[in-house]
Chain A
Amino acid sequence: MLPHALARLSSQLAGNQLVLHYLTERDHAWLRALIDEYERGVGSKRSELFTRLKEPLATPAPKAKQRWAVEVLQRLTEGRAKAAIPPRDARWATFVAAATVAAPRSEVLKNAALLLGTDAESLDVALFADLRSESTTGALPAELSPEKIALDANLRLVSSWMQRARGVRITAWGNTRALVRQARLHGLICNIRRAAPPDTASSAARSAVASGLDAVTESPTEGVELEISGPLALFRHTLIYGRALSALIPRALWCHRFELRADCQTGSASTIATLTVRTGDPLRVGRELAPYDSQLEARFAKDFRKAAPDWNVVREPRPVESLGSLIFPDFELVHRHDPTRRWLLEIVGFWTPKYLEEKLRKLRAARLENVLLCIDQERGCSDAELPKDARVIRYRRRIDARAVLAVL
């Protein structure tokens, strides 16, 4: 994240569109100069070095972009300084000594240093070594390059604007499940529709390479359109969902292809502009997301594969369209030798009979009969009877793969 003032400096309003001035290859030369200047300042006071880094560099840089890159460099190098004595111990010993005896500064430091088994100079250095604004500059992480700073800075710029988003519309193809989950996890209202297929296969391939996803072999097929906003957004312009909306970006970057449009507050509450982020934008793609949403799911997949070697476990089955919305089942179980034998499996955490009834109603409307619900015995919030026609397996902490197999 960037301070909003910096994000504004690196952005521009074009009508009602918010245009971000990303750091690109053209900026690498001055970013290299910035890194060199940083390395010359290793060992000096961080606050002084970072003030200096904002001054003109050996290679000229656009002023706003330079300030933004300096801010990012500051974040990327935090907490690397070390002191000979733990600074907290140094402070306590020194300030107590100063309160005890009225003596000149050098004398106090000398006495406190004796207590800590060090010398006055080291003690003086250690006093504020752990405080962000007072610490000394540590060495750069070895892997830091102009490219990495640029991609990281761009991602932070987008995230900063997303923090000021009120609502988001995303169209995404392939690997969309994590995106949908993320939206629902944060209690956002997420309206989902099926999206038209992407324009052409070639454009999809091009965008996958551009975003660093070329290792992903799965072809982008299934698409969804998401409209995401928070409950309170009905009543007032609120930025309370900014954090949750911002958390969608790393998920979107792992989709095969996506386009995100966010309505962001640019100034006062009434000034709104649209930010567009899409596949191919120069953003840092984070760590690959875990293949399972929970330990429970991971354990079930492992147990079931072991217990039922004749069945395939499909982690992310096609979403099911029903009553105007999409359902994302957790697993699809498909028989290896008879692919017509297919079951959808849904794991339900918190539940009420009403919720299960509604879920079954939607599945029935989609003409799906082979559906199995695994419900958490401990987290149910009602003792009332379950719907009569539900095929349910109750579990406590672990889903019994054999019990599932017995139903199929």
Chain B
Amino acid sequence: MKLLFDHGTLVLTEAPDLRREAIPGLLWDPRVELYRAPAYRYAEVVEALRTLRLPLTDEVERPGAAPADEWRSVELRPYQQAAVLAWQLAEKRGLVALPTGSGKTRVAAAAMASTRVRTLCLVPTRALLNQWLTELSRLYPGAIGCLGDGRQDIQRITVATFESAFRWMPRLGNRFELLVVDEAHHFGGGVRDEALEMCVARHRLGLSATPPNGHALARLEELLGPVVYQLGVGDLAGTWLADFDLVVLRVALDHDERARYDADHRLFSALNRDFRAMHPTGTWQELVAAASQTVDGRAALRAWRRTRQLVGFTRAKAVAVKALLARHRDARVLVFTADNAAAYAIAREHLIMPITCEIGRQERERALQGFREGTLRALVSARVLNEGIDVPEADVAIIVGGTQGEREHVQRIGRLLRPSPGKRAIVYELVTLATSEGRRATERRRGLAAARARSA
């Protein structure tokens, strides 16, 4: 009986009848007349087969040497050491939840250095891909492979974007023994989970500042392991993270904006009211699905999108951004917007560099370097700067608008928390009065407030 890797799954050849045996994940595949199991259950399948004392030739893992080069010494802060230890004690499977700016990449490097096996690191964006390559190359002298952003180089230590991993895992899923997943909260919801399912790595480390809850967390635990270590912003602010002040500036719509907002809001409210009457516990996705079936429903959804766009960057917000950029002329400022259109409008008006998905890798790297060195004083972005990008010099953030709720808010503020001597960051949040944004702003601050209160 042989166990083989087949395009992101495991197949068992020359097997006896196993239909009555409880082997995790193993199913009979009538298409090829073989037993098949998902790759991520590799360790469990092998253990179950060995328990049955069946002769087994395991040809799943592609032979390959462990990383030959020695890792340089990875210096860790006490909480980082504790995180690595907790992960090791959990049989090198699990999720480490640490706030943004607390050095999660370093925790991953320490885990990799202690494990010394072939490792694939997954990161969500091209920007983070380059940041991880730079960070790991400081600690590991050997060649580091890269999958994504137009590069396809596979080494014993390789960094890949989620998208590339999704595409390549059917071919690469048996080459790595440790899987490190940065910003792991992107998984667990069903989208792109296959990237984790199609890999046989027994050891897995997930990193996140904002782990999910409910069903998504349960799924993440199945794919990566349980939460083995968790700290919030409040646990580290003022010591290992810079402290910060949050200033909420409430601005109003002008006469014309108010008229447009109210008209569109009425359209959507009617739809929402009718839907809630029929489905009191219906989700947003269900509302959109139901509304998409009718002309009126689609018009109401378009109206809702217009209101979001309008409150995302109002005339009053534009004035506020101008005043804040002038006030903090000598600071390093990050401006966060709800969409690219608002980011470009601010970039055009105030001549500051936009960092969006449309800006290429080299230009983005040059801009981030310029920001670190002080050649550029401000950056404006809708999404790209939300996660992971290392800009320790930033000390002022202006949150003009957002669409992703509490998690996005925590991540954005995290950009400012990388510590430096005497640093105290300021976060300005612009909220439009008497609009749905007010409620959303309250919700997205809730998670942050809870974390801060916990440590107080």
Find out whether the CB atom of B376 lies under 8 angstroms from the CB atom of A96: yes
Question: 8 Å CB contacts to A: which residues of B311-368?
Answer: 329, 340-341, 344, 347-353, 356, 358-360, 363, 366-367
A9 to chain B minimum Cβ distance, whole angstroms, is: 8
Find out whether the CB atom of B349 lies under 8 angstroms from the CB atom of A231: no
Find out whether the CB atom of B351 lies under 8 angstroms from the CB atom of A133: no
B356 to chain A minimum Cβ distance, whole angstroms, is: 8
B45 to chain A minimum Cβ distance, whole angstroms, is: 13
Find out whether the CB atom of A189 lies under 8 angstroms from the CB atom of B351: no
Nearest A residue to B25 by beta-carbon distance?
A: A235
Task: Determine if A196 is an interface residue (Cβ-Cβ < 8 Å).
Answer: no
Task: Determine if A300 is an interface residue (Cβ-Cβ < 8 Å).
Answer: no
Interface bits B287-302 vs A (CB < 8 Å: 1, else 0): 0010010000000000
Q: Are A240 and B340 also in contact (CB < 8 A) when A99-B377, A232-B8 are?
A: no
A44 to chain B minimum Cβ distance, whole angstroms, is: 16
Find out whether the CB atom of A231 lies under 8 angstroms from the CB atom of B350: no
**A229–B29 Cα gap in the complex (Å)?**
12
Q: Are A234 and B350 also in contact (CB < 8 A) when A187-B7, A240-B194 are?
A: no
Contacts of A102 in B (CB 8 A): 329
Task: Determine if A108 is an interface residue (Cβ-Cβ < 8 Å).
Answer: yes
Nearest A residue to B366 by beta-carbon distance?
A: A92
Task: Determine if B31 is an interface residue (Cβ-Cβ < 8 Å).
Answer: yes
Find out whether the CB atom of B7 lies under 8 angstroms from the CB atom of A96: no
Question: 8 Å CB contacts to A: which residues of B1-53?
Answer: 6-9, 11, 25, 27, 29, 31-32, 36, 38
Q: Are A235 and B38 also in contact (CB < 8 A) when A187-B171, A229-B31 are?
A: yes
Contacts of A394 in B (CB 8 A): none
**A96–B349 Cα gap in the complex (Å)?**
15
Contacts of A229 in B (CB 8 A): 31
Contacts of B171 in A (CB 8 A): 187
Contacts of B347 in A (CB 8 A): 128
B167 to chain A minimum Cβ distance, whole angstroms, is: 8
Find out whether the CB atom of B7 lies under 8 angstroms from the CB atom of A95: no
Nearest A residue to B292 by beta-carbon distance?
A: A8
Find out whether the CB atom of A95 lies under 8 angstroms from the CB atom of B289: no
Find out whether the CB atom of A131 lies under 8 angstroms from the CB atom of B353: no
Nearest A residue to B371 by beta-carbon distance?
A: A99
Contacts of A230 in B (CB 8 A): 7
Find out whether the CB atom of B32 lies under 8 angstroms from the CB atom of A189: yes
**A108–B347 Cα gap in the complex (Å)?**
13
Q: Are A231 and B344 also in contact (CB < 8 A) when A95-B376, A187-B170, A238-B194 are?
A: no
Which of B6, B27, B344, B352 meets A128, CB within 8 Å?
B344
Find out whether the CB atom of A132 lies under 8 angstroms from the CB atom of B194: no
Task: Determine if B370 is an interface residue (Cβ-Cβ < 8 Å).
Answer: yes
B77 to chain A minimum Cβ distance, whole angstroms, is: 33
Contacts of B363 in A (CB 8 A): 88, 91-92
Interface bits A179-210 vs B (CB < 8 Å: 1, else 0): 00000000101010000000000000000000
Contacts of B349 in A (CB 8 A): 105
Question: 8 Å CB contacts to B: which residues of A249-302?
Answer: 267, 269
Task: Determine if B73 is an interface residue (Cβ-Cβ < 8 Å).
Answer: no
Question: 8 Å CB contacts to A: which residues of B154-175?
Answer: 166-167, 170-171
Contacts of B167 in A (CB 8 A): 243
Find out whether the CB atom of B352 lies under 8 angstroms from the CB atom of A267: no
Task: Determine if A127 is an interface residue (Cβ-Cβ < 8 Å).
Answer: yes
**A315–B222 Cα gap in the complex (Å)?**
49
Q: Are A128 and B31 also in contact (CB < 8 A) when A232-B194, A234-B9 are?
A: no
Contacts of B366 in A (CB 8 A): 92
Question: 8 Å CB contacts to A: which residues of B163-198?
Answer: 166-167, 170-171, 190, 194, 197-198
Task: Determine if B281 is an interface residue (Cβ-Cβ < 8 Å).
Answer: no
Find out whether the CB atom of A131 lies under 8 angstroms from the CB atom of B292: no
Find out whether the CB atom of A96 lies under 8 angstroms from the CB atom of B9: no
Task: Determine if B239 is an interface residue (Cβ-Cβ < 8 Å).
Answer: no
Task: Determine if A98 is an interface residue (Cβ-Cβ < 8 Å).
Answer: yes
Find out whether the CB atom of B344 lies under 8 angstroms from the CB atom of A99: no
Find out whether the CB atom of A95 lies under 8 angstroms from the CB atom of B353: yes
Nearest A residue to B345 by beta-carbon distance?
A: A134
Nearest B residue to A189 by beta-carbon distance?
A: B31
Interface bits B369-389 vs A (CB < 8 Å: 1, else 0): 010001111100000000000
Task: Determine if A47 is an interface residue (Cβ-Cβ < 8 Å).
Answer: yes
Find out whether the CB atom of B340 lies under 8 angstroms from the CB atom of A133: yes
Nearest A residue to B289 by beta-carbon distance?
A: A267
Q: Are A132 and B353 also in contact (CB < 8 A) when A88-B363, A189-B31, A267-B289 are?
A: no
Which of B27, B374, B378 meets A234, CB within 8 Å?
B27
Question: 8 Å CB contacts to B: which residues of A59-104?
Answer: 88, 91-92, 94-99, 102
Contacts of A109 in B (CB 8 A): 351
Q: Are A108 and B344 also in contact (CB < 8 A) when A99-B376, A232-B194 are?
A: no
**A236–B8 Cα gap in the complex (Å)?**
13
**A267–B344 Cα gap in the complex (Å)?**
34
Find out whether the CB atom of B375 lies under 8 angstroms from the CB atom of A96: yes
Find out whether the CB atom of A191 lies under 8 angstroms from the CB atom of B31: yes
Q: Interface of B with A (CB < 8 Å)?
A: 6-9, 11, 25, 27, 29, 31-32, 36, 38, 166-167, 170-171, 190, 194, 197-198, 289, 292, 329, 340-341, 344, 347-353, 356, 358-360, 363, 366-367, 370, 374-378
Q: Interface of A with B (CB < 8 Å)?
A: 5, 8, 47, 88, 91-92, 94-99, 102, 105, 108-109, 127-128, 131-134, 187, 189, 191, 227, 229-232, 234-236, 238, 240, 243, 267, 269
A-B contact pairs, 29 of them (CB 8 A): A88-B360, A91-B353, A92-B370, A94-B351, A95-B352, A95-B376, A96-B375, A96-B376, A98-B352, A99-B375, A99-B378, A105-B350, A105-B351, A131-B344, A131-B358, A133-B341, A187-B6, A187-B7, A231-B8, A231-B11, A232-B8, A232-B194, A234-B29, A234-B31, A234-B36, A235-B9, A236-B197, A240-B166, A240-B170
Give the 4 A-B CB pairs with smallest separation, nearest first.
Answer: A98-B351, A187-B7, A99-B377, A231-B9
